[in-house]
Amino acid sequence: MLKEKLAHKKIVLASASPRRQQFLKDLDVDFEIRLKPVEEIYPDELKGSGIALFLAELKAKAFEDSLVENEILITGDTIVCIDDQALGKPKDKAEATAMLQNLSGRTHEVISSVCLKSIEKTRAFHDKTTVYFKELSAEEIEYYINNHQPFDKAGAYGIQEWIGQIGVQKIEGSYFTVMGMPVHLLYDELLQF
């Protein structure tokens, strides 16, 4: 259905994330990948969804001068929030360990944002999901980091991986939002864009 609606558009995904690429494939959308390096720095006063939206729009701005007629650019960002603090991607094993220790036995929010951009308009939106983690042992955290290398994931974990299977007790909201893209919202927004 979406494929027919977008037949005269070229979809450009600005993400190296295999998960985001798979979501578009699963929606049966033809797309190409274009990447530009963007330094993910945001103003200190931003919190939660403000950070995720700012970063998705920042990534889209990098393509402002290169989009052409009938192209729709998709950018996205995901952050994990706990205690009013945003957790991005860990820089190393020590930071990943600290993040997972902080999330252990607690509840946190995952916020995924998307920015759609064409030469005519820009539309940004986000979704939040609450995640409940069991108490993780030091051995479980170390095993996960050593075997799954979660350095490309906000909050140092992927819900679809081993740690999600053994550690996530429940979620309130979209599973796909935790994986990095609110697919249900993206579908609706692309239909209207």
CATH of the domain at 61: 3.90.950.10
Residue 77 designated active-site: yes
- State how far the Cα of 81 lies from the Cα of 52, in Å rounded to an integer: 10
pTM: predicted TM-score of the whole model, two decimal places = 0.93
Query: What pLDDT score does 61 carry?
Result: 97
Write out the H or E segment, with its range, that includes residue 87. Answer: strand 85-87
Q: Which of 26, 28, 44, 77 is catalytic?
A: 77
Query: What pLDDT score does 7 carry?
Result: 86
Query: What pLDDT score does 5 carry?
Result: 86
- State how far the Cα of 178 lies from the Cα of 129, in Å rounded to an integer: 7
Query: What pLDDT score does 174 carry?
Result: 98
Query: What pLDDT score does 128 carry?
Result: 98
Query: What pLDDT score does 27 carry?
Result: 94
Q: What is the pLDDT of residues 32-73, one digit of tens each?
A: 999 999 999 999 999 999 999 999 999 999 999 999 999 999
What domain count does the chain have?
Answer: 1
Query: What pLDDT score does 12 carry?
Result: 98
- State how far the Cα of 9 lies from the Cα of 130, in Å rounded to an integer: 34
Strand partners, 126: 113
CA angle 124-177-32, nearest 5°? 65
Series of mean pLDDT values for 10-residue runs along the chain (193 residues): 88 94 94 95 94 97 95 96 93 97 98 97 98 98 97 94 97 97 97 93
- State how far the Cα of 160 lies from the Cα of 170, in Å rounded to an integer: 13
- State how far the Cα of 182 lies from the Cα of 137, in Å rounded to an integer: 30
Q: Which domain holds residue 158?
A: 2-192
Helix, strand, coil percentages for the chain (3-state, nearest 5): 35, 25, 35
In a 13 Å sphere around the CA of 139, the CA atoms on its Cβ side amount to 0
